[in-house]
């Protein structure tokens, strides 16, 4: 299993939804809460190619994108292979 990192904000419903999908799959992940962390937000944006919205999800070296991207990969049957 590749390392999964998800950048979140505490009030974000999309963040909660993305984490729920990962939990349903039984996967562990590292959550980086950038709610009040300006430096963390900047690092997230740099890693995500300038994106500033949350969540931003990374699996291994791959930038998955946000919640909708994560669910789209799952619906397409490609998420499990990406994380393997």
Dump pLDDT digits (tens) for 10-46: 999 999 999 999 999 999 999 999 999 999 999 999 9
The model's pTM: 0.96
Predicted local distance difference test score (pLDDT) of residue 70? 98
Residue 15: exposed, middle, or buried by beta-carbon count in 10 A (0-12, 13-18, 19+)?
Answer: buried
What's residue 54's pLDDT?
A: 98
Which residues share a beta bridge with 63? Answer: 58
- pLDDT for the residue 51: 96
Whether the CB-CB separation of 57 and 4 falls below 8 Å is answered with yes
CATH of domain 4-83: 3.40.30.10
In the chain, DSSP assigns E strands to 4-8, 30-33, 56-59, 62-65
- With 0-12 CB in 10 A as exposed, 13-18 as middle and 19+ as buried, what is 75? exposed
* Closest to 71 in 3D by CA, of 63, 61, 79: 79
């Amino acid at each position: 299993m590749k390392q999964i990192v998800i950048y979140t904000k505490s009030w974000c419903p999309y963040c909660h939804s993305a984490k729920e999908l990962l939990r349903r799959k039984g996967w562990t992940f590292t959550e980086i809460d950038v709610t009040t962390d300006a430096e963390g937000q900047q690092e997230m944006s740099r890693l995500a190619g300038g994106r500033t919205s949350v969540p931003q999800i990374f699996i291994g070296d791959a930038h998955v994108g946000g919640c909708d991207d994560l669910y789209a990969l799952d619906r397409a049957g490609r998420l499990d292979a990406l994380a393997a």
